Amino acid sequence: MTGGFDEATVTAGREQSFRRPARSARAAVDAYGSHGGTRLALGAAVAAGILIAAQLVHAISIAPYFPPGPGPWPAWIGLAAVLVAGVSAVAALSQRVPDWLFAALVVALAVPVALDVAATAGLLHVGVTPTAAAAAAMVLMPVAALRGTIAPLAASSVLAAVLAAEALLQLPTAGRNVVLGLAVAGVALLPVALTVITVRGFRRLARREVDLSLVQSTVATPRSAVGMRASEELAQLDFDAESLLEDVGAGRVAIPLPPEKAELAGQLAARLRVRLIEGRTDTWLRHAVAESAYLSGRVEVTDPNGLAGKLAPSQREGLLFALWLIVGERSRRDSARATVLVGQVDGLVGSGAGFADTVTGSDDPYADLAIAIAISGLALRHLDAAMWDAVESVGTHRTTSNAEHLRVDILCRTDQPPRPMTSTRERGARTRET
């Protein structure tokens, strides 16, 4: 490919590092935290209430088999007190469960668990199993949706291990009824584990969709517009410069400037010059990659002349979506990396050896922009079919691959509307016709 993709250009592009802006990260966390937290916790609380009620019915049914005494009710009274206090605390904290509240909840739940285990010890041979202890684990279900999932799962695992140990200790006297005790231990762990799986999946989906929505906002920006990262840096530069000028104007800093203030002024001027120079080539593509939690660090953009800004909004969306499908799925493609090279197409018109002549199935002498996507850590057969539809909306493409690398070269027309995205079936039919 022509268009200045030499070693110096690639090195220059790699020297510029980008980080995701704090505003973008906070917006993504707030969005998926609210959707995957409060509303999901409500469903988990309803399911937990049903399971706790079932355990209470079971406690009533086995109460006659307890020896004379209070039976299982002290544990249930303690569990009810913990539930009331926990719900009140979460409501007072605007449906949040900070670390200190979770620790207090776990310690408080240990009381009814201990009372229930002590009340049912040695009674497994008559079919008496812990009920309040199993119900205590259900309390952790909505907690897993309101905070991190690791701690609730670990707490329920410890509780299940205690119940399993109690059942196994009664093996000589309980015999086959040990299976009932182990089943109670499983009942204490399984609902929390299923809740954790559900919450993690929902949060992953919400995080991806919110991140993609935030990144897609760069598609409609002007060619030379700054992104969130640049606007934050410019705002900080403006504040620092205004503070220095205000100190000088108020007489708090004498003129000529002291050495430390002079050094600060020089640093501000240098940062402003760098920001202005970078702003000429910081296109929507750089901002989209920098502001995405999924693309940042996995996609490298080399566009020294800021030519990606010439793409139409539909072409930008297609290119962004293609990159998203290549490296966006962390769970299956942790090793996938992509390098995007953007440059001019040289010698297309009237040249028999131009890049356009080598594109499979097309000879496009009107293309004026070339984009190369170099992919590593991902085989050709693992690419989603929708990725090719997205690439076709950008321009005419050609694919080359070997054992280690995959490269997609795209020819783009920036002065004419791009072709609409076509389905896989239509592309297959067009290939058969040719």
Min mean pLDDT across 327-336, 337-346, 381-390 is at: 327-336
| Rounded mean pLDDT, 99-110 | 92
Confidence of residue 353 (pLDDT cuts 50, 70, 90): very low
Q: What is the pLDDT of residue 186?
A: 93
Q: What is the pLDDT of residue 224?
A: 53
Confidence of residue 24 (pLDDT cuts 50, 70, 90): very low
> Is 16's pLDDT higher than 90?
no
| Rounded mean pLDDT, 378-407 | 83
Q: What is the pLDDT of residue 133?
A: 92
Q: What is the pLDDT of residue 48?
A: 93
| Rounded mean pLDDT, 103-130 | 91
- Average pLDDT over the chain, rounded to whole? 75
- Cβ(115)–Cβ(75) under 8 Å? yes
Q: Kindly state the percentage of the chain with pLDDT values over 70.
A: 68
Tell whether pTM > 0.95. no
Min mean pLDDT across 7-16, 81-90, 152-161, 321-330 is at: 7-16
Higher per-residue pLDDT: 276 or 102: 102
Q: What is the pLDDT of residue 293?
A: 77
Q: What is the pLDDT of residue 248?
A: 67
Q: What is the pLDDT of residue 290?
A: 79
